[in-house]
Structure 1
Amino acid sequence: MRRAVICSLAVSMSVSAAACGETGGDSGVSRKDKSIGLLLPDYATKRYEKFDRPLIGGKITSLCPDCKIAYANADGNPDRQAQQVRDMIAQGVKVLILGAQDAVGIKASVQEAVDKGVKVIAYDRFAQGPVSAYVSYDNEKVGELQGQALLEAMGSKATPAAKIVMINGDDADPNAAQFKAGAHKALDGKVTIAYEQSGLWKDTVASQKVKAAIAQLGAKNIDGVYSANDGMAGGIATALKNADIDVPLTGQDADLAGVQRILSGQQTSTVYKAFKPEAEATAEIAVKLLNGEDISAVADTVATSGSGTTVPAKLLTAVSVTKDNLKDTVVKDAVYLVVQICTPSYASACEAAGIS
Structure 2
Amino acid sequence: MLRVAIGRAAALVPLLLIATFTAFLLLQMTATDPAVVRLGENASDEAYAAFRHEIGVDRPLLVQYGSWLAGAVHGDLGVSWSNSASVTDLLTNRMPATFSIALGALVVGLVIGLPVGIAAGIRAGRSADSLLTAGASLGQAVPSFWLALLFVAYVAMKTSLFPATGYVPITEGVGSWLLSITLPSVALGAAAAGAFARQTRAGYVRVLHEPYIRTAVAGGLARRRILWRTALRNAAIPVVTTVAGTAAVLVGGAVIVEQVFALPGLGQLVLNAIHNGDMPVVLGFVALMALLMALVQFVLDLTYALVDPRVRAG
TM range (shorter): under 0.3
- Greater fraction of residues in helix: 2
- Greater fraction of residues in strand: 1
Which of 1 and 2 has greater Rg? 2
TM normalised by structure 2 equals 0.27
Q: Compare relative contact order (CA 8 Å, sep 6+) and give the higher one, 1 or 2.
A: 2
